[in-house]
């Protein structure tokens, strides 16, 4: 069985070496806005790329407009770099330059991303600090239930992919959530 490997980097050289070694996807937590050469690497290799919204602070004029404008720039740069529309996956960036309230607002409104973009939507909430904060200061190792809740609700709101740590537990939640949201047939 072949298991796809995703390289988590915003550096072109790292992505290039990882793809040479067999990586089949790039996850850029800066949405092509840190290393302009990363777009070329993704475009030439033909691998899918995850474009994540991120910023260095939590100051927003309007949370959704600011995120949408940033993702629009990322998509535009991806296309300019030769990345196919079909190879672009979007991530609203839970935990990346957002307040806890902002993270929850994004999760409540993932359907806005689905309505605006006809692209797969990835959500990475696994063990994030917002879960620890909402649940009373839980340590990272104690955030499984919070993670499972965010995953199930993200799928209900349109998430197509999830990034997680606890694969066995989350895969069951994903399968059940998908059966409810997207339908299920026996066998």
**Structure tokens of 144?**
């499984």
- Nearest-CA neighbor of 87 among 23, 22, 42? 42
Q: Alpha-carbon distance 102 to 58, whole Å?
A: 9
Catalytic residues: 128, 163
How many CB atoms lie under 10 A from the CB of residue 185? 5
| Ramachandran category for residue 153: left, alpha or beta (phi over 0 → left; psi -120 to 50 → alpha) | alpha
**Whole-angstrom Cα distance, residue 36 to residue 44?**
14
Tell me how far apart the alpha carbons of residues 64 and 180 are, in angstroms, rounded to a whole number.
28
Nearest to 83 by CA among 118, 123, 23, 41: 41
């Amino acid at each position: 069985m072949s298991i796809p490997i995703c390289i988590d980097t915003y550096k072109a050289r790292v992505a290039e070496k990882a793809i040479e070694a067999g990586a089949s996807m790039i996850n850029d937590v800066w949405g092509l806005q840190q290393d302009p050469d990363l777009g070329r690497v993704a475009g030439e290799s033909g691998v899918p790329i995850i474009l994540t919204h991120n910023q260095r602070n939590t100051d927003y004029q309007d949370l959704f407009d600011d995120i949408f404008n940033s993702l629009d720039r990322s998509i535009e740069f991806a296309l300019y770099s030769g990345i196919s529309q079909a190879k672009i996956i979007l991530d609203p960036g839970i935990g990346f330059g957002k307040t806890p309230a902002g993270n929850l607002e994004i999760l409540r409104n993932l359907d806005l991303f689905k309505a605006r973009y006809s692209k797969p939507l990835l959500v990475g909430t696994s063990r994030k600090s917002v879960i620890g904060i909402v649940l009373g200061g839980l340590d990272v190792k104690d955030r499984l239930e919070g993670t499972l809740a965010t995953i199930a609700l993200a799928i209900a709101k349109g998430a197509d992919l999830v990034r997680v740590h606890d694969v066995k537990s989350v895969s069951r939640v994903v399968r059940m959530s998908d059966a409810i949201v997207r339908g299920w047939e026996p066998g």
